[in-house]
């Protein structure tokens, strides 16, 4: 593992908001204003906030969630290191969701791998470093504004459960200047017993991109952007999504949580 790392959230001033119950039907992809890639704004203390990016849409029973990185919901300035030691925001914290149309609404932090690992007294060093995943529950009134499809790319088609191999094509996305930039690249392999992927993409992830999702050449979702390596390589560290969801289901208080596939077909073929 590299010694010098940087979290990919950014910091600025805050806002708040809301709660839960039974989800309405999703919006069409064309009409939706809440999708993978929207901005997620979390308070980090002293009036500052962390601005990150939503990965994918998830469902647990009747509840709908947006996923992003747990370090985006850290409560201190030193984020992106060991999730078993860094301060984490309490569950129920208001998180602002900035829609694709610039509108803002609120969700609440419903799960943090950092908080959960700390409560459990997790001692696996690889998991402490690599398990970087959080869920924000949407207000039921906002679900009708949601579509689970990745803008431009389409998908995700399913949850990837076998990781990535070195050289495998990968894709991600970032909101840029009112649109969506598709990032293409390759896996540099996995480490930490399959918990962590190293990715090389053009462009690489930058501050504010933390939490964004990664898919393989079949459109299967495999990861959540966690860190930027500061070793001159401009590569990124990506937390394995299947492992993160399995941990959330086993040790979180939400019950089983599953990825919601996109309604639009995956279009980025190699």
Strand order from edge to edge, sheet including 104-112: 10-13, 48-53, 39-45, 94-98, 104-112, 134-138, 63-68, 57-60, 258-259
How confident is residue 176, by pLDDT bands cut at 50, 70 and 90?
Answer: low
Quick check: is 47 in a domain?
A: yes
- pLDDT band per the 50, 70, 90 thresholds, residue 269: very low
Judge whether 212 lies within some domain. no
Q: What is the pLDDT of residue 75?
A: 78
- Decide if pLDDT at 78 tops 60: no
pLDDT digits (tens, 9 = 90+) for 117-159: 999 999 999 999 999 999 999 999 999 999 999 999 999 999 9
pLDDT at 47: 80
Which domain covers residue 11, as residue numbers? 7-145
Q: Answer yes or no: is 25 within a domain.
A: yes
Residue of 6, 118, 138, 9 whose CA lies nearest to 72: 9
Among 56-70, 223-237, 242-256, the range scoring the smallest mean pLDDT is 223-237
**Do the domain assignments include residue 169?**
no
Q: Where are the alpha helices (DSSP H) in 125-172?
A: 125-130
Picking from 215, 228, 226, 150, the residue whose alpha carbon sits closest to that of residue 187 is: 215
pLDDT in tens, 9-26: 544 433 333 333 445 589
Confidence band for 194, pLDDT divided at 50, 70 and 90: confident
Q: What pLDDT score was predicted for residue 119? A: 97
Q: Does 12 reside within a domain?
A: yes
Of 138, 113, 123, 148, the residue nearest 29 (C-alpha): 148
Tens-digit pLDDT profile for residues 205-242: 887 899 999 999 999 999 999 987 767 677 999 999 99
The tally of domains found in the chain comes to 1
And the tokens for 99?
């829609």
Percentage of the chain exceeding pLDDT 70 = 86
Helix, strand, or coil (residue 157)? coil
The answer as to whether 141 is a domain residue is yes
pLDDT at 204: 84
28 lies in some domain = yes
Enclosing H/E stretch for 200: strand 196-202
pLDDT at 77: 57
Q: How far is residue 216's CA from residue 42's CA, in Å, rounded to a whole number? A: 28
Mean pLDDT, residues 41-51 taken together: 86
241 located within any domain: no
Average pLDDT in the chain: 87
pLDDT of residue 207: 79
* Confidence check: pLDDT of 86 > 50: yes
User: Which residues fall within 8 angstroms of residue 13, CB to CB, at 6 or more apart?
Assistant: 47, 48, 49
Average pLDDT rounded to a whole number, residues 188-199: 91
d(Cα 86, Cα 66) in Å, to the nearest integer? 22
pLDDT of res. 268? 52
């Amino acid at each position: 593992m590299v010694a010098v790392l940087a979290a990919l959230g950014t910091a600025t001033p805050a806002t708040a908001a809301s709660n839960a119950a039974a989800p309405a039907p999703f919006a069409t992809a064309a009409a939706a204003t809440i999708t993978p890639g929207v901005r997620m704004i979390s308070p980090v203390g002293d009036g500052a906030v962390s601005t990150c990016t939503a990965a994918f849409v998830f469902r647990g029973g009747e509840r709908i969630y947006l996923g992003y990185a747990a370090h985006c919901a850290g409560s201190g300035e030193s984020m992106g290191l060991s999730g078993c030691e860094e301060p984490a925001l309490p569950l129920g914290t208001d998180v602002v969701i900035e829609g694709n149309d610039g509108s803002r609404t609120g969700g609440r932090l419903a799960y943090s791998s950092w908080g959960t690992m700390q409560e459990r007294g997790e001692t696996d060093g690889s998991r402490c470093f690599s398990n970087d995943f959080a869920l924000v529950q949407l207000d039921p009134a906002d679900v009708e504004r949601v579509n689970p499809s990745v803008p431009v790319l389409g998908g995700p088609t399913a949850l990837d459960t076998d990781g990535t191999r070195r050289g495998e094509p990968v894709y991600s996305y970032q909101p840029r200047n009112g649109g969506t930039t598709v990032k293409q690249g390759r896996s540099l392999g996995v480490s930490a017993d399959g918990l962590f992927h190293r990715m090389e993409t053009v462009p690489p992830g930058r501050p504010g991109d933390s939490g964004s999702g990664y898919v393989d050449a079949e459109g299967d979702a495999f990861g959540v952007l966690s860190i930027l390596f500061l070793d001159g390589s401009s590569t990124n560290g990506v937390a394995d999504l299947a492992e993160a969801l399995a941990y959330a289901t086993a040790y979180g208080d939400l019950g089983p949580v599953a990825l919601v596939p996109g309604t639009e077909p995956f279009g980025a073929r190699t």
